[in-house]
Amino acid sequence: MMREDDIRNASARRRNLLFLTQRFLADFGFYQAAEALKNEARLPAEEYELCDNIDLDSIYLEYASYYHLKFGKYPKIVRKLKPTVKVEVSSKTKSKTKNTLTHTTSATQAELPPVEPVSNPGDLELTVKKVESLSTIGSATTLVPTSSSSTTNIVGDENRTAALIRLQEIEHPAGTGTAADGLLSQQDWQNLAELVKTTIMRDELKLSWTDMCGNASAMEVVKEAVLTPLKYPQLFANGLRPWKSVLLHGPPGSGKTLLAKILYAETRNQVTFFNVTSSVVVSKWRGESEKIMRILFHMAQKHAPSVIFFDEIEGLTSRRDRPSDHESSKRFKNELLQLLDGMEQQTGGVFILASSNLPWDIDDAFLRRFEKKLLVQLPNPIERAILIGKQLPITLSVSKEQIELLVRISEHFTGDEIRLACKEIAMQIVRRATRACKPNERTEEAVPLQRAFEQIKPLSLKLMKRHLQWQEGHGS
């Protein structure tokens, strides 16, 4: 037996559905039907009224969006019945058929009058389409107009036609197929497109491939994915496609973001570069984050060749089986998965570049989408010596023995940690220039150099071993 709470909830649900239906009929011009429903259902209009932020149309749109995110397609609500009566209209009977649809009769069922045979099969009128659409709502063989509602029938036909058109727009969105520009036809989508445009980088960075010390394999893969198709498009004319997505992982400061900056600087006038951050794609409004991601990929395809760079992507692609994940987060991840998977079927030049400090926190489904997963290595002794020589102040004279000492101290240092140590040395020179120094301090050059490197505690001692193990099991 049903509990009292279940009975109360069922009664409230039935009442809410009736209020929604009554408002829907009134909004679309079915005033007599709305009034009849109100009286027959005995809706307590004096006690309740429908909230202004909800209606049947918005509920339908929300369900269609949810269904598309879950199953990859829009729901099919109605289907067309097989017609049992064929209506043939010629140019000679145009006015006769039109009058038949709006003519009033006293009988409860009126048969369609016979018409003359079609002399030209191409002369079909729009009235036939209206008859077919009406047959899916009512009976396929009868039309029941009343003498007092001919004008209401015409208005009702227009409203039903508008509803069918909107249903077709939902089931077949303009963002697919040849009408891809229709995705931005609505104002709210245009506002989100303006937000996505802010992620396009336009800064002038003076960087080159020579600024990246080490990690030659990662640079080669990135060049193969972006530069090679631009220089040698004929190599990819016979079905061969360049790398579509690359994941860079390594300890913080190893040079992942620097590689992305160099790629942007080297291809600034040839490639559209999208620098995506969580503050742009994550929205507090329901369903807006998924729209932003769809617009992002849509604009990247329109402005191809393009690069979409996700920095610290583990924040957006964490595991989906965590109990703490909100429903909106799961919908966003599902949308991103579909967009990344769809990229494999696209022929446009869109390259996905992502970086992560914690690749083991990324969901396995996202890892599968990345064709290459590369570990950004720490600099070796030769590369550390080159970095130290570049980062030290040019006014400071350093001997070969001092460089060798700094190279030994900087073992397990990332490139950014070497930069911080050299910056500390430069700041020591600034401090000496801004305060009175003792005479014996000027001769002790080796002690500040060594001290600046020794005070850096490399983070890679904890993380690099785990990155190596993950690369052996998941890398490519």
Domains parsed from the chain with CATH numbers? 4-71 (no CATH), 91-171 (no CATH), 184-375 (3.40.50.300), 381-474 (1.10.8)
Quickly state the pLDDT bin for 5 (edges 50, 70, 90).
low
- State pLDDT tens for residues 328-352: 777 888 888 888 876 555 656 889 9
Q: Out of 60-64, 218-222, 246-250, 447-451, pick the least confident.
A: 447-451
> From the CB of residue 167, how many other CB atoms can be counted at a distance below 10 Å?
15
Quickly state the pLDDT bin for 437 (edges 50, 70, 90).
low
Q: Are 307 and 298 in contact (CB under 8 A)?
A: no
pLDDT for position 440? 54
- State pLDDT tens for residues 95-108: 544 454 444 444 44
CA 31, distance to chain mean position in Å, is: 41
- State pLDDT tens for residues 18-42: 888 988 888 888 888 988 988 888 8
- State pLDDT tens for residues 375-424: 998 888 898 889 888 888 887 888 888 888 888 988 888 888 899 988 88
- State pLDDT tens for residues 156-183: 555 455 444 444 444 444 443 333 456 6
Q: In DSSP terms, which residues pair with 308 in a beta bridge? A: 274, 352
Q: Cα(369)–Cα(350) distance, rounded to whole angstroms?
A: 14
Full strand arrangement of the beta sheet holding 245-249: 272-276, 306-310, 350-356, 245-249, 372-375
Rounded to two decimals, the pTM is: 0.58
